Amino acid sequence: MSEQARVVEQRNIQTKRLTVHTRGTGAEGFPVVFVHGNCSSSAFFESLLERLPKGLRGIAPDLRGYGETEPQPIDATRGMRDFSDDVASLLDALNIQKALFVAHSAGAGVVMQLAIDHPSRVAGLVLEAPVSPYGFGGTRDADGTPCWSDFAGSGGGTANPDFVQRLAKKDRSTESQTSPRNVMNGCYVKPPFKSPREEALLDSVLSTRISDAHYPGNFEKSPNWPGVAPGTTGMNNAFAPKYFNLGAFASLSIKPDVLWIRGADDVIVSDTSLFDFGYLGKLGAIPGWPGDDKYPPQPMITQTRRLFERYAANGGHFREEVLTDTGHSPHIEKPQEFERLAFPFLLEHAR
């Protein structure tokens, strides 16, 4: 690990697809691409970039619809491929043929899709609290079987309307449980933890572009509980299981090593997620829940582990590390523990 903090520079990079705003540590070293999750930006990796070991080159883009990247619309019918193609195009613009990847939450879906489409470009993957390979919401078992044929309970209609409105208004208050600040401090991390960079992280959350074409996306009405099904545009539809399925990851022709890091007390990506309609219905928070036989909680961790076990059975390698007393953002909550796991892996695979 470097003894002195790395200088993190911000720049805009023109690719063949769009103008990408990035944070980076310069042009020296083996490239490591950091891909953020939903309702955040590359700013979530600022401290990690500052501490990146010598010999590694950090590059953290803002995804379209977040931060300061050109806000091209998101075609959700391509799953996460708008994002993964953007990242591949960024690599092309920087003349990078192969890179390591560190990806958080929905960002893990982006880089796993990139690995499916361009396996030779991936030297290794650090996946932090990764979204399920079968998307978010609407599936019932370890293999991602949908609860309903129209994938009701996933997509743009599942976002909390008050949270969305407060994001649009750049609300920095604590007056509501669904204010962006309270959601960040209550769900992105495990309370009572608060980051010393809380205001900068909140700026990042508030950089989320609100529209049907971005976050959360549009939706369709459904005759099935809970009454909403995926639309065709925007982030939450892009990782709806109607369009997003990473099952092909298990059979990659080239199999990069995977380091899976998660917090034991994550309430976002979990088999008992507080953002999953199946689990919320079971708790009684959403009326009309049809029961475990028709709409059980989505077993997100179980789904990820099942996919990685198939990956290993086909000759790949993964390692799962669980940090205790930690929520959805281990690299922010437990930076030393996260770096103790991630940095040696990156240095070992920087080739």
Whether residue 234 is contained in a domain is answered as no
Q: For residue 351, with 0-12 CB atoms within 10 Å meaning exposed, 13-18 middle and 19 or more buried, which class applies?
A: exposed
What's the CATH code of the domain at 252? Answer: 3.40.50.1820
Residue 146's SS3 state is strand
Q: How far apart are CA 96 and CA 93, in angstroms?
A: 8
Q: How does pLDDT run across 303-322, given as a tens digit for each residue?
A: 999 999 999 999 999 999 99
Q: Which two tokens stand for residue 245?
A: 């399925």
Whether residue 188 is contained in a domain is answered as no
Residue 2 has pLDDT above 70, yes or no: no
Which candidate, 227, 246, 75, 249, places its Cα nearest to that of 151?
227
Q: What is the pTM of this model?
A: 0.98
Q: How far apart are CA 243 and CA 137, in angstroms?
A: 12
Q: φ and ψ at 150, to 5 degrees?
A: -100, 10
Q: How does pLDDT run across 143-190, given as a tens digit for each residue?
A: 999 999 999 999 999 999 999 999 999 999 999 999 999 999 999 999
Q: How does pLDDT run across 91-143, given as a tens digit for each residue?
A: 999 999 999 999 999 999 999 999 999 999 999 999 999 999 999 999 999 99
Q: How does pLDDT run across 321-339, given as a tens digit for each residue?
A: 999 999 999 999 999 999 9
Question: Residue 30 is inside which H or E element, if any?
Answer: strand 30-35
Whether residue 159 is contained in a domain is answered as no
What residues make up the domain containing 113? Answer: 9-148+241-348
Q: How far apart are CA 327 and CA 263, in angstroms?
A: 5
- pLDDT for 1: 42
Beta bridge partners of residue 174, listed in sequence order: none
Residue 43 has pLDDT above 60, yes or no: yes
Residue whose entry in the numeric block shows the structure tokens 């540590």: 25
Q: Which two tokens stand for residue 105?
A: 């939450």
Whether residue 29 is contained in a domain is answered as yes
- pLDDT for 262: 98
Average pLDDT over residues 22-26: 96
Residue 210 has pLDDT above 60, yes or no: yes
Whether residue 297 is contained in a domain is answered as yes
* Alpha-carbon distance values, 283 to 61, 269, 277 (Å): 37, 17, 10
Average pLDDT over residues 62-69: 98
Whether residue 308 is contained in a domain is answered as yes
Whether residue 180 is contained in a domain is answered as no
- pLDDT for 4: 81
Helices in the chain by DSSP H: which ranges? 46-50, 81-93, 106-117, 161-168, 180-183, 198-206, 235-238, 277-283, 300-313, 330-333, 335-348
Which candidate, 70, 123, 58, places its Cα nearest to that of 94?
58
Question: Residue 56 is inside which H or E element, if any?
Answer: strand 56-61
Q: How many domains does the chain have?
A: 1
Whether residue 170 is contained in a domain is answered as no
Average pLDDT over residues 211-239: 98
Beta bridge partners of residue 9, listed in sequence order: 24
Average pLDDT, the chain: 97
- pLDDT for 3: 60
Q: How does pLDDT run across 234-281, given as a tens digit for each residue?
A: 999 999 999 999 999 999 999 999 999 999 999 999 999 999 999 999
